[in-house]
Amino acid sequence: MDENMNTNTQPPVYAVPIKKREIALAIIFSIITCGIYSLYWLVKLNDEVNQLAGEQGATSGGMVLVFDIITCGIYGWYWLYKMGERCDKIKRSNNNSSLVFLLLGIFGLGIISYCLIQDTINKAVSA
C-alpha cells in the first residue's frame, strides 16, 4: 500500500469555532474599559466575519486594528464598508448594509455597526 495516499476523506478543519457573543455585554465591557474591549471586539468581528463569508485571505483583525490606529480612524470607515458587504454575503441578501455601516461610523456611531455585525454573526452561528 502506498504510504503517500491519504485515507482521510474529510477536509481538514483549520477555522476556530465561532461562539455567540452577547451584544449588551460587549457594549458594557466597552464602556467599562474605556474602549479597550471594543478594540478586541473589532479584531474578533473581523476574523469571524471573514471566516463566515469564506474570505480567509482577507485582512486579519490585527492588521485592521493597526491600520485603523495608523490612519487615525479613516481605515475604520473603509473597514465598516467592507464589513457591510461581507455581512450581506453571509445573509445572502441584496441589501446595501455597507452604506449604513459607513454612515454610522462617520457620524460617530460605529458601535451600532459593531452590534449589527455581531447580530449577523450570532444569527449565522445559530442557523
User: Which of 3-12, 101-110, 118-127 is the least confident region?
Assistant: 3-12
Residue 15's pLDDT is what? 57
Residue 46 has pLDDT above 70, yes or no: yes
pLDDT digits (tens, 9 = 90+) for 101-116: 999 999 999 999 999 9
At residue 93 the predicted structure's pLDDT band, cuts being 50, 70 and 90, is confident
| Per-domain residue ranges of the chain | 23-126
| Contacts of residue 82, Cβ cutoff 8 Å, sequence gap at least 6 | 98
Q: What is the DSSP string of 104-127?
A: HHHTT-HHHHHHHHHHHHHHHHH-
pLDDT digits (tens, 9 = 90+) for 62-81: 999 999 999 999 999 999 99
Residue for grid cell 481538514 = 12
Q: Residue 63 is which amino acid?
A: M
Amino acid occupying residue 47: D
